[in-house]
Amino acid sequence: MREYLLGNVAIAKGILEAGAGVVSGYPGTPSSEIVDYLAPLAKEQGIHVEWSVNEKVAMEVAIGASWTGTRSVVTMKHVGLNVAADPFMTLAYLGVGGGMVVISADDPYCHSSQNEQDSRRYAQFARVPCLDPADPQEARDMTVRAFALSEKFGLPVMLRPTTRVSHARADVEVGPPTKRMDSPRFEKNPPRRVALPVHARPLHAELLDKQAGIEAALAEEPWNRAEMKSEVGVIASGISGLYAEEAIARMEADVSLLRIGTYPIPRRIVGDFLERVERVLVVEEMDPVVEEFVEMVAKERNPDVEILGKRSGAIPGVGELDPLSVQDAIAGMMDLPKRAAPKMSPEVLSILPPRPPALCPGCSHRATYYAMRKAFGKDAIYPNDIGCYTMGVGMGTVDTCLCMGASITVGAGIRFGGEEKPICAVLGDSTFLHSGLTGLLNAAYNGAKMTVTILDNSITAMTGHQPHPGTGCTACGETSPALSLEDICRSLGAGFVETADPYDLESMIDVFERARDHPGLSVVVAKRPCVISEIRSGVRRPRFKVDEEKCGGCKLCVKFGCPAIEFDGKVAKINALCSGCGVCAQICPEKAIEVVK
Amino acid sequence: MRTSECDVVVVGVGGQGVILISEIIGRAAMMAGLSVRGVETHGMAQRGGSVINHIRVGCSFSAMISLGSADVLLAMEPAEALRYAHYLSPEGVALVNTRPVLPVTVTTGEASYPPIEEILAPLRAVSSEVKAMDASGLATKAGSPQATNVVMLGALSTHLPIEEATLLSALSETVPARFLEINRKAFELGKIEVE
């Protein structure tokens, strides 16, 4: 059956086709839609789908499932694999039971990420096979195949889509779901399931011994393919292979092309290709993984071949590629004129106002930041975290952003490093439950004097509104045990824990002031559902308007930064985006903003 | 050689319903037996930021349209039209909704929004065919400002290698039944506007 599918949905359908029984993950762009798609289908398919608390947890759940013989999948974004790296590395020693696929979605150009790390390096590091799809069809095909390869090698197999695969749409051929296997059971086998040193040493040797066989087997997969046309060649991996194919077609050039889709890279195929070319361009996004391999193989098979790529400057080391940049690089290799990329002149573009992503109209984070600034002042230190709220950087309340959960720990380190100013760390509820708990425990244990603010909007908003343990419901919509952030924080050792509603500025400021003056570790929970969730669930509040007679044009409300507030040169105006939070009315010194009756 | 029958870059602001356009065209292309590729903006940029989607009809390569290659630039917002004008091929057509969506940099007074003519003039230097329309106004006339994206789809329809009837049946499969009448009217108004 052919359907027009998002890459991540094509992957999800591949998971169903392969008969996987357990799917776990933590949301992260560009990976989130895989679990988003599967969760509502879990019941009818008889499979377990979960949003786990974090990627390490998700990985371990998938490993346990695999050890019962059930096929399992874990999904995450590239930086999530850092969190899950601990189980991932040792899993390669212990091996899988049922086929297990680790999906780590990379984000060249950091469309929605804090770095451009390359998951293929992790696959190499762990010595685990990796499949690198070029488009949604390959993503579906590789997903289905990955389970069989995993079972064949006894290892997890990594699927590594990139943003332009996960968020691409294409007409994709998919098959029907397969029923998950019956009668799973965990079989006791300590030498293969218990990573004691005495077991780990022989397992490490076994892992190394497997590598040549894996490489030879992957060489037979359809995603490594060469087309010889001349002694000028391109070697390209994943989506870059598709860009190269299009560039060559458009140029109508005689260029040989070797496309790589699996790791470890088949040495024989690369060697055979290198023997038949004089000059070769290696095209890939992110790290020069293929390029380094090509350089190594060239030493044995064709030391005279000229290799162009990232090291020669032909391919950029940062950002993402596209067909035109690849076409330019090929033209450069062939000493042909480049097709200069059209550019708008900076003077023309300078008339355009910047349009950065911004907190939504009525977003409670904006109100929390406003109250925080009032209480802590502009000189306080504001360590921040990963979520929508990082966009508050323009409000002066985001001083650091490193990785999930690091607001609290970095804040504590700033205190122990000798900084004496007030410190107010900020993170969201989902991020707190992901990896803020241990940081808070550590801060309490080691006596960090600081404030931690949990922005509790009862959802994982940035990645598309996924539930988490604080929301009282699972990915599949089942009710989960009620959880109190306040009780958790007290149990972890915070001496001051209070909750306030950011839409009530006065009490929010009051709580912040008392938290600031608390002699030890204090926690403030700013509690208010995400405005998008509220709108979706039917909450409608009356809008606000400006009484133009009363407005003195001081622009305090405008500076608040809500997209619903505009300034016409004389007075403020509230536009149709207003969600009725009423915070601007509390800011206005003239009391000129009032509810529309 | 050409590697796609028709390349469309759709630009706008997060929340303007750009993904729906891709959804309808993709469905229609498949009904017409054509290969189709698309790529869209998710994640951080969606939050009121500038978004760009690529749609390639009759294409079996990647979804990414090269700079200077788009046959149509479909802009849901005028400033965004100019921001992405370098995607247009010199022979390409720009279809532009003239109704601005003010970015937060403008509402807070850090930046100003240029007059529409100052946006359209440099656009006309890139493309010989710039068709500007008040799609938001037409959508309101059709029954709902939410249908602006479908007005734009109607304007685009004559430039696509897909029959209008096919696009309309893809439209009826994609939008909720209770909004179908408004959307059909919006499509028609958009189409008439560029004829």
pLDDT tens, position by position, B158-180 = 999 999 999 999 999 999 999 99
Q: In terms of CA atoms, which chain A residue is nearest residue B83?
A: A349
Residues A502-516 as b/e (b if ≥16 CB within 10 A, e otherwise) read bbbbeebbebbeebb
* Residue A466 DSSP symbol: B
- Of B44, B104, B1, nearest to A391 by C-alpha is B44
Residue of A nearest to B122 (CA): A348
Cβ distance A65 to A42 under 8 Å?
A: no
pLDDT for res A60 = 98
Domain boundaries, chain A: 2-219, 225-333, 364-536, 544-595
Q: Across residues A308-315, what is the average pLDDT?
A: 97
- Could B35 and A171 be called an inter-chain contact, meaning their C-beta atoms sit closer than 8 Å? yes
The answer on pLDDT for A318 being more than 90 is yes
A162, containing H or E segment: none
Per-residue confidence band for A340, with pLDDT thresholds at 50, 70 and 90: confident
pLDDT in tens, A211-243: 999 999 999 999 999 999 999 999 999 999 999
Q: Could you tell me the pLDDT band of residue A355, with boundaries at 50, 70 and 90?
A: very high
Specify the pLDDT at position B110.
85
CATH of domain A225-333: 3.40.50.920
The reported pLDDT for the residue numbered B43 is: 66
Q: Average pLDDT, stretch B19-45?
A: 90
3-state secondary structure of A571: coil
Secondary structure of residue A171 in the 3-state scheme: strand
Q: List pLDDT tens digits, range A181-217.
A: 778 999 999 999 999 999 999 999 999 999 999 999 9
Whether the predicted pLDDT of A279 surpasses 90: yes
In chain A, residues 99-158 whose CB comes closer than 8 Å to chain B: 111-112, 134-135
In this model, does residue A375 exceed pLDDT 70?
Answer: yes
pLDDT tens per residue, range A129-151: 999 999 999 999 999 999 999 99
pLDDT digits (tens, 9 = 90+) for A420-465: 999 999 999 999 999 999 999 999 999 999 999 999 999 999 999 9
Interface of A with B in 500-529 (CB under 8 A): none
Write down the CATH number for the domain with range A544-595: 3.30.70.20
Average pLDDT over residues A335-343: 82
pLDDT band at A556 (very low <50, low <70, confident <90, very high): very high
The reply to whether residue A566 touches residue B26, judged by beta carbons under 8 angstroms, is no
Q: Residue A300: what pLDDT?
A: 97
Over residues A477-500, the pLDDT tens digits come to: 999 998 999 999 999 999 999 999
What's the pLDDT score for residue A64?
A: 98
CB contact under 8 A, A353 and B105: yes
Model pLDDT for residues B44-67, shown as the tens digit of each residue: 656 778 899 999 999 999 999 999
CA neighbor of A61 nearest in space, from A10, A28, A105, A102: A102
Cβ atoms of residues A262 and A223 within 8 Å: yes
CB A344 within 8 A of CB A385: no
DSSP states of B62-81? -SPPPTT-EEEEEESSHHHH
pLDDT, mean over chain B: 93
Domain ranges of chain B: 6-194
Q: Tokens 């707190």 identify what position?
A: A432
Is A112 or A280 the better-scoring residue by pLDDT?
A: A280
Q: Which CATH architecture has domain B6-194?
A: 3-Layer(aba) Sandwich (3.40)
Q: How far apart are CA A156 and CA A136, in angstroms?
A: 21
Structure tokens at A218: 């992957």
The domain defined by A364-536 folds into: Rossmann fold (3.40.50)
Q: Mean of the pLDDT values across residues A297-316?
A: 98
Mean pLDDT of chain A: 96
Q: Percent of chain A having pLDDT more than 70?
A: 100
Note whether A355 contacts B36, CB cutoff 8 Å: no
Mutate to test the interface with A, among B4, B8, B44 (most CBs of A within 10 A): B44
| CATH number assigned to the domain covering A2-219 | 3.40.50.970
Residue A212 CB partners (closer than 8 Å, separation 6+): none
Alpha-helix residue ranges (DSSP H) falling in A175-322? 190-193, 197-219, 238-251, 267-275, 289-301
pLDDT at A423: 98
Residue of A nearest to B126 (CA): A344
Closest CA to B63 of A471, A322, A223: A322
The SS3 call for residue A164 is: helix
CA distance A316 to A339: 17
Q: How far is B155 from chain A (nearest CA, A)?
A: 23
Please tell me the distance from the alpha carbon of residue B61 to that of residue B49, in angstroms, as a whole number.
28
pLDDT at A482: 87
By C-alpha distance, the chain B residue nearest A576 is B101
Nearest CB neighbour to A112, from listed B13, B30, B44: B44
Residue contact A463–B43, C-beta within 8 A: yes
Inter-chain CB proximity A250 and B3 less than 8 Å: yes
Asked whether A55 and A77 are in contact (CB, 8 A), the reply is: no
In the predicted model, what is the mean pLDDT of residues A386-391?
Answer: 95
Two structure tokens written together for A377: 């002042």
Model pTM score:
0.96
**Torsion (CA) A96, A100, A101, A104 in degrees, nearest 10:** -60
| A364, A505 contact by CB (below 8 A) | no
- Read off the pLDDT of each residue in B116-120 and give the average, rounded to a whole number: 95
Q: Give dist(CA A130, CA A315) in Å, integer.
A: 23
Asked if the domains at A2-219 and A544-595 fall in one CATH topology, the answer is: no
pLDDT at A380 over 80: yes
- The three-class DSSP label of residue A487 is helix
Residues B85-110 have a mean pLDDT of 92
